[in-house]
Amino acid sequence: MIWWCKNLAFKSNIHTLNNRFIPYSFIKMKNKIQILVLSLVVVFGFCWLSEAKYNLTWDELKQFNSQKVTISQASDSGLWKYYTQLAKWSNILEDDERLATISSGLWDYAYAQFDSRKKIAKQKSVAEKTDFLDEYRWDIMMEEEFPFDKCVWWYNTIDNISFANDFPTALTLAIWYRESGCGYYLPANGDGPFQIVSKDYGNGEITEEIFKQTIQDFIDFAKWKIESYNNRSDDEFLPLELSYTSFDYTWVVSFAALYNWWTRTGGMVQPNAPKYVFDGYGDNYANAKKYGLFPAFLKLISWELNNI
């Protein structure tokens, strides 16, 4: 059985993730008929189970495959919730071979689905990001090296949470840089790496779990600010829209102003503290010692295009 599965994997160009077989064709399939989907799930479900410690019964296998279909139909944020919850269950249930086998298999499957969607979104956004960078990067005046070694160390984690919440990853990173220099610690004031004054995370060392929570808290806070601003809009108020794949100069600058300190000029939100946004960008801010949020955002988009 194991030989047959591995032979099938070779012939079908199957992707392996954590030693479990998942076909590219199944991950990308969206509009195929349900019978074909279920057939693939059953076939490759057997292949995955052939290497599992616990062999599910036929009824358990049907329930397992039914859960996979449910997971595949979830939204991006729903997939991320499945994945994070299943990760917790896998650790809790590791002493129960049956439940560990089920949760681990669904955990891998949820992430494979999530990661496949994220890669598609990234590829679709390359042209827009390239055009945006080509238009605005020429006014970056600072020659100091940007601390990529610190700011992209946790890139995959920040990218996953940003994608799950449909928020630009480079903007999450730029805020982290501007607020705490991409420091992986809890600042003394208790406001966390993203300096959210309504939160109290304590100070000192930070754990991965707390760090992930601060990222989610930042995006929730950012979306609340955007929603509050858009709900106040009138004929002169330009709405603010940001997503994982879409943004423009006005939206980024307006968000930076909203996050820090803002004023309204005509139909656009402007920063009351322009150095926070523009330090190191343009002749007026050429002598800055730290990148403002906008040039930091550009630097991070450039890194994404060159490394992802």
> Pick the residue with more confidence: 237 or 173?
173
User: What pLDDT, in 10s, does the model give residues 231-249?
Assistant: 875 656 678 889 999 999 9
Q: Which residues contact 283 (CB under 8 A, 6 or more apart)?
A: 141
Q: Do residues 118 and 149 touch, judged by C-beta distance below 8 A?
A: no
DSSP bridge partners of 269: 264
pLDDT at 278 over 60: yes
Most confidently modeled range among 30-34, 172-176, 282-286: 172-176
> Can you tell me the mean pLDDT for 111-138?
96
Taking the C-alpha atoms of residue 258 and residue 147, their distance in angstroms, rounded to an integer, is 25
Look at residue 218 and tell me whether its pLDDT is greater than 90: yes
Average pLDDT score, the chain? 82
pLDDT in tens, 179-205: 999 999 999 999 999 999 999 999 999
| Model pLDDT, residue 69 | 95
Q: Report the b/e string of 37-63 with b at 16+ CB within 10 A.
A: beebbeebbbbbbeebeeebeeeebee
The C-alpha angle 11, 17, 18, rounded to 5 degrees, equals: 125
Which tokens in the block code for residue 50? 């052939």
pLDDT greater than 80 at residue 145:
yes
Average pLDDT estimate for 31-59:
51
Torsion of CA 289, 293, 299, 304, to 10 degrees: 150
* Beta-bridge mates of residue 23: 14
pLDDT digits (tens, 9 = 90+) for 81-108: 999 998 888 777 777 788 878 888 898 9
The pLDDT assigned to 270 comes to 79
Is the predicted pLDDT of residue 114 greater than 60, yes or no?
Answer: yes
Q: How confident is the model at residue 27 (pLDDT cuts 50, 70, 90)?
A: very low
Q: Looking at the predicted structure, is the pLDDT value of residue 172 above 90? A: yes
Look at residues 47, 92, 49, 45 and name the one whose alpha carbon lies nearest to residue 71: 45
Query: pLDDT category, 52, cuts 50, 70, 90?
Result: low
**pLDDT score for 236:** 65
Q: What is the pLDDT of residue 95?
A: 76
| pLDDT of 265 above 90 | no
> How far apart are the C-alpha atoms of 172 and 175, rounded to whole Å?
5
pLDDT of residue 261: 79
pLDDT of residue 194: 98
- The percentage of residues in the chain with a pLDDT greater than 90, rounded to a whole number, is 59
The CA-atom distances, in angstroms, between 90 and each of 25, 94, 100 are 27, 6, 6
